Amino acid sequence: MANNSKFQVNTSDTIKCISSSEDGNKIAFGNNSGNIHLVDNEGQNIWEKNIGEGTYGIAIMKDGNRVVCGGKDCKLRMFNSLGNVEWEVNVGKAIWSLSVDPNGQVIVIGTGDSVAMFTENGSKLWEHDTSRAMVGVGVSRNGANVVACADEFLYCLDSEGNLSWKKQRSDALWDVDIEKDNNLIIIGGWDCVVYALDLQGNEVWNYKTDGYVRSVKPLEDGGVLAGSHDHKIYRLNDKGELKKIYDVDGEITCVCTSLSTDLVYAGAGNKIFGFDSDDGNYTTTENSVVNNSVPSVENEDTVSEDSDDYEPMFGFGMFDEPSPDTTEILERDDYSVSETSSETKDYSNNYASTYQSNRPSYQDSTENIDRGGEYREFAAKVLKGDVKNYLRLGNAAWSEKRLERAAEHFRKATEIDPDEPRAWHNLAVCNYHLSLKGNPDDVEGAVASAYEPLKIAKEKGGSEYTSVDKTLAFLASQIGIEE
């Protein structure tokens, strides 16, 4: 569907955070290179600064003139209306998220291992250790309650920084916020669902999108704005029913809105998109889809029966992202491993063995056969020396959203037949997504984790194997390399 935005602003790097003034006339945003911009609602620049490293949290204060931000340089800064630094505090650790209460009295930040609250003048009120990188934070009016998320854990703190509760979700979270008067906590993450929780962490409603949910924002009317990996901004009402969808040309990283919700803004890639509230595609609540079958919050101490082997997976293979090659195995004259042989070729002197010697070995046991659904499906067919079966197992694990296990199968396939290019390609794809899920901001690291097995896949497959070329082209585009 075509993008119907009111305006677009191009920047030099990926947008990481965004904030709107209450009247919607100003938008502040920061990018991965540490550039901070304040623009008007037509996209015209008011001022621009650079703090040297990535900016991951930003907010326009209630007065509409000052901008507070934080990022990788470990400093919390307040800029005045002219873009000059009013004050700055070195917190001694990277700031991964930031939120200001609706009255503009307190500032809350999420760091690499804690949540902290500051006054609007930069004085620290408290800090709560979490030992996790807090990628999302939210604060209700006057700091009455603070919510924060890291990995699959959700935290709720009181106004003094004491832990009210900590709960574990079924998948990793991207963002969290809280309604100004503590009525609802809103979360989104890798499972593609927007959730509304009460103040005790119990689920009130949920809505499933078509991509992982990167950013959430409670609205003044009790509804929610959510930005998704599927290139859409979802506007939901206070019951979690879909009201409108705004289409964006790119994966959304952050969203915000004016107080009256007549203006909606989003960061996607290196662009800012602005919408009038009427720009979206209208959807009546009768046509909305609310998913009530998504697993509810579990207490941190609660462990499900299959928690040890469940590896949730976000929307892999979407929007041209690399996914496993499921085409037929290439026919080669030099196929020297029998389908029924459990022996592995001697490749101790080649490039592949160097890669494999630094990777954990595949754990093949009856315990594994009893655990995964993909084992139950193929157990009767599996011959330990048959590379095709391990490729099938890997693809089945992938489809069941068990990424760790898929990687194990593909790694085993490389051991069975190191000349099979699909095994190396699919292992590279798993490496990329696992790395990105572990650290979503380290795209270069994710690309690097995939490059070595892709190089082997290219070497083994030759010019006839084109899947690796497509994957390499995608990865190159992610780090700004043109073919």
Q: What is the pLDDT of residues 193-247, one digit of tens each?
A: 999 999 999 999 999 999 889 999 999 989 999 999 899 999 999 999 999 999 9
The better pLDDT of the pair 63, 280 is held by 63
Instruction: Look at residue 30 and tell me whether its pLDDT is greater than 90.
Output: yes
Three-state SS sequence of 332-394: CCCCCCCCCCCCCCCCCCCHHHHHHCCCCCCCCCHHHHHHCHHHHHHCCCCCCCCHHHHHHHH
Instruction: Look at residue 397 and tell me whether its pLDDT is greater than 50.
Output: yes
The model's pTM: 0.66
Integer CA distances (angstroms), 169 to 370, 376, 401, 433, in order = 25, 27, 16, 20
- Identify the residue whose tokens are 């019951």: 239
**pLDDT at position 3, please?**
64
**pLDDT at position 4, please?**
66
Longest dimension (CA), the chain: 73
Q: Interhelix angle for 443-461 vs 467-478, to 10°?
A: 160
**pLDDT at position 154, please?**
96
Give me the amino acid identity at 110: G
Query: Among the listed ranges 54-58, 74-78, 415-419, 432-436, which one has the minimum average pLDDT value?
Result: 432-436
In this structure, what token pair is assigned to residue 61?
């204060």
Instruction: Look at residue 346 and tell me whether its pLDDT is greater than 50.
Output: no
Instruction: Look at residue 118 and tell me whether its pLDDT is greater than 90.
Output: yes
Instruction: Look at residue 171 and tell me whether its pLDDT is greater than 50.
Output: yes
Domains of the chain: 7-299 (2.130.10.10), 351-478 (1.25.40.10)
Instruction: Look at residue 401 and tell me whether its pLDDT is greater than 70.
Output: no
Q: Which SS3 state, helix, strand or coil, does residue 232 take?
A: strand
Instruction: Look at residue 330 and tell me whether its pLDDT is greater than 90.
Output: no
**pLDDT at position 396, please?**
80
Instruction: Look at residue 384 and tell me whether its pLDDT is greater than 60.
Output: no
- 274 phi, psi to nearest 5 deg: -120, 135
Instruction: Look at residue 356 and tell me whether its pLDDT is greater than 70.
Output: no
Q: Which SS3 state, helix, strand or coil, does residue 403 take?
A: helix
Query: Among the listed ranges 140-149, 178-187, 260-269, 332-341, which one has the minimum average pLDDT value?
Result: 332-341
Q: Ranked by mean pLDDT, which of 105-119, 172-186, 465-479 comes out on top?
A: 105-119
- Identify the residue whose tokens are 């997504």: 433
The predicted model gives 356-381 an average pLDDT of 44
The predicted model gives 250-256 an average pLDDT of 91
The better pLDDT of the pair 320, 456 is held by 456
Instruction: Look at residue 367 and tell me whether its pLDDT is greater than 50.
Output: no
**Element containing residue 148 per DSSP (H, E):** strand 145-150
Q: Percent helix, strand, coil in the chain (nearest 5)? A: 20, 35, 45
